[in-house]
Amino acid sequence: RRAHGTRTGRSEDDRCRGVRCVFSHVVAELAAEGTSNVSNVQLISRGYERFIDKLQDLGADFQIEG
């Protein structure tokens, strides 16, 4: 499972502007099949300490682009 976070790009669903919304979107996309793009992931880094490290520790293939 691979998820891509974009800081400047737009995803199909760019309505997430809050930390909880983006967090929920990332978790849902990681549960889905295929590659996903999630925007505004920088919000998660500010709201959840070591979020990306924790996802990677659980086996997620997670990249932040941009």
pLDDT digits (tens, 9 = 90+) for 2-42: 555 544 444 445 567 788 888 888 888 888 888 888 878 87
What is the SS3 assignment for 51?
Answer: helix
Task: Report pLDDT for 57.
Answer: 92
Distance CA 3, CA 1 (A): 7
User: With 70 as the cut, is the pLDDT of residue 51 above it?
Assistant: yes
pTM for this predicted structure: 0.61
Residue 38 phi, psi (nearest 5): -125, 130
Which residue from 2, 11, 7, 3 is spatially nearest to 46, judged by alpha carbons?
7
> Whole-number mean pLDDT of the chain?
75
